[in-house]
Structure 1
């Protein structure tokens, strides 16, 4: 019984925290609605009612699918670029010294500041969105991969050399399994950044996606639907982060056995 109580305690506290957020939301809207009629459209009751109505519309799931597809493609591009670069940077000290200032400089440029340039060079459509998402996600993956390489136990590499392992065998059997946890940490951080960058990117003249749908609700003056979309974006982002955490926990559990 005590063990069950210990396992359920984090869930209970988490639900309590979410309940507190909804209570503060309701209280804030109750205070504002006394002076502004529009505030009543943003109350939890109106938002949840609109959300249930939206979930019955097939076009909503099309927008969700388009946004998730963009997230996965942007993340895949970031992995294809960030992991190999991270392995190289973490393996060679001179390369790390040569690239760190440039990487840190580029990392501190907001991905959204590239939006006009991306549209000018690539046109309107999915291509600039993929570029912006990949640019936003590559840095946590690259830096975490490089950190994982530098933290590898040198005895593993010595053992691989003593067994006359080739470079590919050392990479596939020692280095990649050793840095996988760091890569997954970078993926989780990248997903959070991607989800934040995605919505404004989808306001770049595209005709589908969650960001586009938010603009559409604003133009139709459907303010309760707009707030429902904000809530839905939060729920989907929470689910993506939970999936990344579960993947990391599963890998850590498997590696520990």
Structure 2
């Protein structure tokens, strides 16, 4: 028997062990996911159950999980959920696009230029601490329509996590990388494309993840007024129509869409970051 024939079972055994580890890890994650959702639903049901023990609070039965899930098919068939996903998704996408296009270059300048960082740190921190929704009255006056105003509010909310995460990632780059690159004849564009962007991918995507969470929170109240589409409008309409089961169903959909968006960014972080090792 040759040495290669002896080694084959060991290789197969190693692959089998790795597959078992992956399956076990995936199974554990799925179990945690299911248990967490079940616990959340149980708390939701228990809260409504305790409230409705008092006969005078019987109207709160429409807030229960069963009523919410029973309302989901009708909301989908009537086009309320698809239209809300389309409208809110477009506004979110445009606002995030502007935040990334503006935030990443600002972050690179903050991380690469000490004088620019010192000059802009105080005003940027000041602007970052202003609630995005506080800009709503000004946005309505400045922009021609509510569509543009909402996109502006999303961009204002999302630009700061992107910019500061980019700057933090750039600050962690070893300065010797740039010296070596210059000695090898690298141009400024090479510095950006071959050193800066690959090195800060993890931090940029992390900033985008944080920005996405903030933007998804901001877009709902921003759609309460002035527009006739989106999740915010659908919630407002359900409240005014006293369709509380539909209102709760929309909250479930908002949470689900937000979870999917966040999970997509996490997958990108794991896929494209050099930190994944």
Shorter-normalised TM-score: what interval?
over 0.9
Deviations, residues 161-202 of structure 1 (Å, cap 9, x unaligned): 111111111111111111111110000001100000000111
- The reply to whether residue 13 of structure 1 matches residue 32 of structure 2 is yes
2:229 — aligned with what?
208
Question: 1:4-153 residue pairs with structure 2 within 5 A?
Answer: 4-35=23-54, 36-153=57-174
User: Could you state the TM-score of these two structures normalised by the residue count of structure 1?
Assistant: 0.95
| Consecutive unaligned residues in structure 1, runs of 5 or more | none
Aligned-partner SS, 1:70:
helix
Larger Rg: 2
- The reply to whether residue 232 of structure 1 matches residue 253 of structure 2 is yes
- The reply to whether residue 248 of structure 1 matches residue 266 of structure 2 is no
Counterpart contact for 2:201–2:273, Cα < 8 Å: no
Aligned mate of 1:160, from 181, 200, 203: 181
| Alignment partners' CA distance in 2, 1:124 and 1:222 | 29
Deviation at 1:155, TM superposition (A): 2.8
Deviations, residues 100-130 of structure 1 (Å, cap 9, x unaligned): 1111111011001111111122244211101
| Consecutive unaligned residues in structure 2, runs of 5 or more | 1-16
Compare 19-28 and 124-133 and name the one that shifted more: 124-133
Counterpart contact for 1:124–1:206, Cα < 8 Å: no
| Alignment partners' CA distance in 1, 2:125 and 2:231 | 30
Deviation at 1:247, TM superposition (A): 0.9
| Alignment partners' CA distance in 2, 1:220 and 1:190 | 33
Q: How many residues align?
A: 256
Question: 1:174-213 residue pairs with structure 2 within 5 A?
Answer: 174-213=195-234
Compare 23-32 and 57-66 and name the one that shifted more: 57-66
Deviations, residues 224-255 of structure 1 (Å, cap 9, x unaligned): 101111111011001110011111111126x7
